[in-house]
Structure 1
Amino acid sequence: MKTTSYIKSSLLPYVTTLVFMFITCITSAQTVNSDQTQSNNEFKGIVLDSKTRTPLAYADININGTHIGTITNNEGEFLLKVPIVYMDKNIVVSILGYEKKEINISELKKDNNKILLDVSLTELSSINVYGAKNAEALVRATLNRKNENYYNEHAVMTAFYRETIKKRNRNASLSEAIIQINKQPYYNLKNDEISLIKSRKSTDYSRLDTLAIKLQGGPFSALYTDMVKYPEYIFDINNLSQYVFSFDTSTQINNRPVYVVNFKQSINNKQPLYYGKLYIDSETLALTSAVFNLNVEDKQLSSELFVRKKPRKVIVYPTEASYRVDYRTKNGKWYYGYGNIQLTFKVNWKNKLFNSVYTLNSEMAVTDWKLNDTSAYQGEKLKPNVILTEKTSGFADPKFWGEYNIIEPEKSIENAIKKINKKLERADS
């Protein structure tokens, strides 16, 4: 017997769907042939605060003059694969609130690189910026300038996507994929398309107790955090009155001053909406980054947003729904670079004393892209309701990704990968 259940929005939750399924079997990992490549040099390291030595998560690392890059994981670690033809170039390391740093690639070691960034704070006046006399006016001006600030050319983006599910603190499911995004111009109302290049997965249903959880939407969920391209999922000009905006302490990105705007839903609106921070370039009014959460205080309403279907004896509700989107800039224009979603759910079985807590994280980083090159778009086209774990047959060895740039796995995921590979080795012996 199988019962399914989903996470579902004009809000982002409606495009991020969770599937709850009674366990009837245990799946096994399968090997996939690895790619071999000698056209790249690989560099590993960590990005740290220069004073506190605190790891800096979500720092951008790009090869100067190219569209190739990666991003640090939650522990500040990175892995960057550099084509040999670019070995004479610099890498550029940047993150909100810190001074940008350039390093010649020839100075990097193969492993254990430590890149230190200095904090950079800038005080900005909160009035008379492009005529904006309050925070809401600034946000309106930002939304009105998307055609000027963002790429309005067709692009084919290569991206790395990772999706994990944990029960408590134990990894239960891991899926990774290389995808291509057929990115439409920002003025174009046509939705972006995604195709699957290669993927791998491993699911240990024994750790999920009696429920299996699958994410419906996969890479599309992370892509839809692009609130400039998809304002209907978060807010646009027409519904700003549902929110209250205020200025926070300003900061910098890429040595440019950035306004920080707080937002939250108005007290008169009882529907679950968002709260968080917008980071807006003070010179161009481009949105450079956004970090926000869904208000899940009302368990019933927030559960209705996420859950389409579930076993009758199970009560499911979110305790956290957090989102992040980062944009990168090249030649004065901005484009989507990174999206992250973290969802935490409590699952209560009726007539049971204890509940279960599941955390789902999906993230996607653009690692390369080409303008106006439709011939570069390839792979199997995915639908927005895709369940990635059902499109993937098994796991693979660490060299599976070949020349593609990926997000360095965190320690817990890395340990899970090592255990999977040991199982594969024993199965092959």
Structure 2
Amino acid sequence: MKAKINTLLRFCFSVWLLTFLMASPVTAKSLLTENNGDPYQSFKGRVINSVTESPIQSAHINVKGTTISTISNADGEFSLKLPADMEDALISISALGYQTKELQLDYFKRENVIIAMQESVQELAEVNIYTKGDATDLVRKMMYNRDENYVSDEALMTAFYRETIKKGNRNISLSEAVTELHKQPYLSNKDDDIAILKARKSTDYKRLDTVALKLRGGPFNTLYIDVMKYPQFLFDTDKLGLYSFKYAEPTKIGERNLYVVDFKQRNREEPWYFGKLFIDSKSFTLVKAVYSLNTDNKRMASKMFTSKKPNGVKVHPDNVQYQVDYRENNGKWFYGYGKADLEFVVNWKHKIFNSRYKVHSEMAITEWEIANIIVPHNEEFIKPAIVMVDDIEGFADVDFWGSNNIIEPDKSIQNAIEKIQKKIME
């Protein structure tokens, strides 16, 4: 068991590893399933700030009384697919710092659906209450209450995963997949498993010059950001002394009051973590975490992320950011969304200009159920070291995802998809 954990830590200490084209990629055979043919209805909309009209990213759109959900993209846009016979659904829209809205399904049956969200207002009295006490003790309570606050049963989850790699501002690689997660209880020592149900990927190798970044880990990169399931990758209870914690201004999600705690790693000699924790004031549940890795120590940061590289090339991460959101159902919380953004600088010896690569990965849970998971003998799970292989054919089918909910592509990704489709038609 110890050897297994150590291996996992080496892979996921910072969640990501990169390997260059010269390295042999690890591949996995995907489980491909056709749409079951069930009729469904689809709705689209956009979530914005009611005052500034700016888009709200990562807003959670949920069908009340069910576990069907999706999130808004960077442009605030979303799509939501429901069974055709669901007529009287109530849709809940929530986002950090905003009042929750609930709308009848009929509202979404019009064109150009806009959902304007009002910002939450914190009273001074609430701020005074929040800033009392020791922030480290609050985080300790958060960790101790994992068993009570989070799902304590096995769960079967459907999730949408997207992975993009850009060189400069150009999309050079796009991977998308519908996955099935076998999620273990939060206090279980068992690791979660992932199977790919449907996937497509395209890489423009002509724009990669000599070197191409390949991302190892696939959906595991966003799954391991679940710090309440995998606290060893950030801070477990016995590691809290390695960090400093202090209160920041509180906030809300709907009517739920949240403590906000800033944290920083004390040891700054090696790459170190810092960020914010959003903790429910009543149950001490971690509702959201956003954190980054300081990479000023370029040599150590390079070792953390780079698996293999050609001679004469220096590679180091320049920007590393993570986000994890949790959702609540019947008083229990579970992993709902994970996102990671990294930027890498590639310097060739004897070349004047360097190359910059941006790697983005995100996964959203779109449906789930508590289940005693019995894994069939023929079940094929992907491995944490997977490199997703090219499969461009899926881009030719405009209804490729069928009834599956996805993260709506933002404008840059949609442009990339249209270019891929045009190339296939040529």
- Work out whether the TM-score is over 0.5: yes
Distance 1:310 1:292, change over 3 A: same
Which residue does 1:104 correspond to in 2?
Answer: 104
Which residue does 2:341 correspond to in 1?
Answer: 342
How far apart are the structure 2 equivalents of 1:425 and 1:375? 42
For residue 138 of structure 2, what is the amino acid of its counterpart?
L
How far apart are the structure 1 equivalents of 2:10 and 2:276? 20
Asked if structure 1 preserves the Cα contact closer than 8 Å seen for 2:45 and 2:108, the reply is: no
For residue 418 of structure 1, what is the amino acid of its counterpart?
E
* 1:285-336 C-alpha deviation (Å, 9 max, x unpaired): 0000000001111111111111122101110000011000000001111000
Which residue does 1:305 correspond to in 2?
Answer: 304
Which residue does 2:119 correspond to in 1?
Answer: 119
Asked if structure 1 preserves the Cα contact closer than 8 Å seen for 2:70 and 2:80, the reply is: yes
Asked if structure 2 preserves the Cα contact closer than 8 Å seen for 1:12 and 1:225, the reply is: no
Which residue does 1:245 correspond to in 2?
Answer: 245
How far apart are the structure 2 equivalents of 1:194 and 1:362? 16
- For the pair 1:317 / 2:303, whether they are aligned, the reply is no
| Mean CA deviation greater in 238-247 or 35-44 | 35-44
- State the TM-score, normalizing by the size of structure 2: 0.91
Asked if structure 1 preserves the Cα contact closer than 8 Å seen for 2:33 and 2:197, the reply is: no
In structure 2, the residue corresponding to 1:211 is in which secondary structure?
A: coil
Distance 1:421 1:330, change over 3 A: same
Which residue does 1:224 correspond to in 2?
Answer: 224
* 1:189-211 C-alpha deviation (Å, 9 max, x unpaired): 11101011110011101112211
For structure 1, list consecutive stretches of 5 or more residues without a partner in the other structure.
1-7, 24-31
How far apart are the structure 1 equivalents of 2:148 and 2:128? 22
How far apart are the structure 1 equivalents of 2:332 and 2:33? 39
Which residue does 2:363 correspond to in 1?
Answer: 364
- For the pair 1:423 / 2:423, whether they are aligned, the reply is yes
- State the TM-score, normalizing by the size of structure 1: 0.90
Asked if structure 2 preserves the Cα contact closer than 8 Å seen for 1:10 and 1:233, the reply is: no
Cα offset, 1:244, TM superposition: 1.1
Cα offset, 1:361, TM superposition: 0.4
In structure 2, the residue corresponding to 1:52 is in which secondary structure?
A: coil
In structure 2, the residue corresponding to 1:380 is in which secondary structure?
A: coil
Cα root mean square deviation, aligned = 2.3
Which residue does 1:26 correspond to in 2?
Answer: none
* 1:81-105 C-alpha deviation (Å, 9 max, x unpaired): 1112322111110011101100111
Asked if structure 2 preserves the Cα contact closer than 8 Å seen for 1:11 and 1:233, the reply is: no
For residue 171 of structure 1, what is the amino acid of its counterpart?
N
In structure 1, the residue corresponding to 2:398 is in which secondary structure?
A: coil
Asked if structure 2 preserves the Cα contact closer than 8 Å seen for 1:72 and 1:78, the reply is: yes
Which residue does 1:284 correspond to in 2?
Answer: 283
Cα offset, 1:112, TM superposition: 2.0
Which residue does 1:177 correspond to in 2?
Answer: 177
Which residue does 2:166 correspond to in 1?
Answer: 166
Asked if structure 2 preserves the Cα contact closer than 8 Å seen for 1:11 and 1:234, the reply is: no
| Mean CA deviation greater in 160-169 or 234-243 | 234-243
For residue 230 of structure 1, what is the amino acid of its counterpart?
Y
Cα offset, 1:13, TM superposition: 4.8
Asked if structure 2 preserves the Cα contact closer than 8 Å seen for 1:127 and 1:133, the reply is: no
Cα offset, 1:187, TM superposition: 1.7
In structure 2, the residue corresponding to 1:398 is in which secondary structure?
A: coil
Cα offset, 1:379, TM superposition: 5.6
Asked if structure 2 preserves the Cα contact closer than 8 Å seen for 1:98 and 1:255, the reply is: no
| Mean CA deviation greater in 84-93 or 331-340 | 84-93
Asked if structure 2 preserves the Cα contact closer than 8 Å seen for 1:279 and 1:290, the reply is: yes
Distance 1:11 1:387, change over 3 A: closer
Which residue does 1:398 correspond to in 2?
Answer: 398
Cα offset, 1:45, TM superposition: 1.1
Distance 1:69 1:169, change over 3 A: same
Which residue does 2:328 correspond to in 1?
Answer: 329
* 1:395-421 C-alpha deviation (Å, 9 max, x unpaired): 322210000000000101101101111
How far apart are the structure 1 equivalents of 2:411 and 2:130? 46
* 1:215-235 C-alpha deviation (Å, 9 max, x unpaired): 101101100000000000111
